[in-house]
Structure 1
Amino acid sequence: MPHPKRGSSTLISGFMNALKPSSRLEVPASTPPYSRKFASSATFLPTTSLVGKVAVVTGSSRSTGAAVARCLGEHGASVVVNFVTDSQSAEEVVQAIRSNGKGGAIAVKANTATVEGGQLLLDEAMRTFGRIDILVLNAGVMGSKTLAEMDEGFFDVCFETNVKVPLFMAKAAARLLPAPGGRIIFFSSSLTSASTVLPNALCYLATKGAIEQVSRVLAKDLGSKGITVNTVSPGPIDTPLFREGKSQHVIDSIAKQNPMKRLAEPDDVAPIVAFLASEAGHWVNGTEYQSRWGEWFRLTSY
C-alpha cells in the first residue's frame, strides 16, 4: 500500500485534532437573552428548588390541586391556595406548606369558574406576596352528558370553567410573571388521545382538547419572553371527581389496566408539575406530559 502523501497526512492530522476536546472555552459572539448557564458543580436537586418563588394553584383545597400546592411548597415556593366552599381543607393545605418552613401560604376564596374570580385570585397573590412566578390552572369541571342530554347551559359551564377562565387568567398573569422565568401550567386529560372514550365525555373532552391547543399556541407567543407554557394530562386519578357516576366494578376494571394494578394518586402527579415549574424545566415549552397507565411521556414538544 503506498504511503499517503504529505498533504493528505496533514489534512487527516488536522481533522483528528479538531475532534479533540479543546481546553479553551468558546464564547459565542452573542448570547441569547433567555439562555441559562449552570455551574459544572450544579446538581439536579438545587435546580428544582422553588425557594423565593410564588405559585398560584387554582382549585387547590383538595385532591390533585392540593397535592400540587403541597409539593410546590415542599420545594420552597410560597403558594396561593384557592378554594370556593371548603375553607377548612384549604386551611389544612396552607398549614402543611407553612410547617415546612420554606415558603409562605395563604388561602383565597375565589370562584375560578368566572373571569372575575380568576382575577381576584391573582390580585390577592400580588397583594400578599408582591409577585407571581408560577400559575397552575388545575380547577375544572368534568360533567358527563351525551349529545342528547347536553343543553346550552351545560355547554357554557364546561367551556367557561375549563377554557375561558384559564385562558384569561393566563392573559392576566402574563403581565405579572417574570420574563424570563415565568411558568404557566395547564391541566388536560389523557382521554384526548385515548382510542376508547365514552359518549358522555363529549363536552369534557372538547374543553380539554381546546386547552391543549391554547397551551401550545401560548408557548409560541410567550416563549419569546422566556415564559414557558406546558400541559399536564394525567390518566385516571383516584379523586371524588373521577369516582363520580362510576360503579366500583368500573373503577376496579380501570385500575387493573395499570401495571401497578391501582389508580394514580394525586401525589403521583404533583412532582411533574413541580419539575415544570422549576429552573430544571426551563427548556421544556409547548409540551404535553401525558400519563395513562403508569407511564409519563411527552406527546408534543417544540
Structure 2
Amino acid sequence: MTFRRIAIVTVASRGIGRAIALRLAKDGFSVVANYRSNAAKAQEVVDEITALPSKTEYPVRAMAIQADAGNPADGKRLLDETIKAFGRLDIIVLHAGWAGECSIHDLTEDMYLTATTANIKGPIFIAKAS
C-alpha cells in the first residue's frame, strides 16, 4: 500500500501534541501517535484520525506506538516501528510536552530530571537516530 506522507508526533496523546497529530492527518499525513504511558488516550487520537474522510487517493492511517522519548533505545524503536509499518518516514514532530503538574515550590529533583530528559535529551537522540 502506498501512503502520501508519514509523520511521527511525540506526546500525541494529549494537548498540543494531539492537536498537531489531528491537523497533520487532516492535511493528508498518516500519523504515528507516540505516547509514554496513556495507551487509551493515544488510541482515541488514532480512532479520531482513522474516522476522518479521505481527501486524496492515498489512505490516511494512524497507529499508536508507546515509547519514552527520553530514552534513546525507545526513540530508535519508535523510528524503526514506524518505518516497518509505513515503509518510510517524512517528518518527526518532536513535541516536548512533559512539564509536571506542580508549582515550582513543589518541584523535586526527580521531577526536574524527568522533564529535562523528555524535553531535551529525547528530541536530540530521536533526531540522531533518524
The TM-score bracket by the shorter chain reads 0.7 to 0.9
User: Shift of the alpha carbon at 1:141?
Assistant: 2.0
Distance 1:96 1:150 in 2: 36
- Map of 2:8 onto structure 1: 56
Q: Deviations over 1:9-44 (max 9, x none)?
A: xxxxxxxxxxxxxxxxxxxxxxxxxxxxxxxxxxxx
Distance 1:79 1:149 in 2: 34
- Map of 2:61 onto structure 1: 104
- Map of 1:162 onto structure 2: 119
Amino acid corresponding to residue 36 of structure 2 in structure 1: V
User: Shift of the alpha carbon at 1:82?
Assistant: 1.1
Distance 1:86 1:158 in 2: 17
* Equivalences for residues 90-239 of structure 1 within 5 A: 90-100=42-52, 101=54, 102-143=59-100, 144-145=103-104, 151=109, 153-173=110-130
CA 1:142 to 1:120, structure 2 compared with 1: closer, same or farther past 3 Å?
same
Name the TM-score, length of structure 1 as normaliser.
0.37
- Map of 1:85 onto structure 2: 37
In structure 2, stretches of 5+ residues that fail to align are none
Amino acid corresponding to residue 115 of structure 1 in structure 2: P
Distance 1:75 1:81 in 2: 15
| Alignment root-mean-square deviation, CA | 2.1
Say which of 45, 58, 71 aligns to 2:23: 71
Contact 2:46 2:63 in 1 (8 A): yes
In structure 1, stretches of 5+ residues that fail to align are 1-50, 174-302
Contact 2:68 2:118 in 1 (8 A): no
User: Shift of the alpha carbon at 1:68?
Assistant: 0.7
Q: Which runs of 4+ in 1 moved over 3 A?
A: 148-151
Kindly indicate whether structure 1 or structure 2 has the higher relative contact order, using CA contacts under 8 Å at least 6 residues apart. 2
Amino acid corresponding to residue 82 of structure 1 in structure 2: N
Larger Rg computed on CA atoms: 1
Q: Deviations over 1:220-239 (max 9, x none)?
A: xxxxxxxxxxxxxxxxxxxx
Alignment coverage as a number of residue pairs? 121
Match of 2:7, SS state, is strand
Among all aligned residue pairs of Structure 1 and Structure 2, give the percentage whose two residues are the same amino acid. 37
Distance 1:117 1:139 in 2: 15
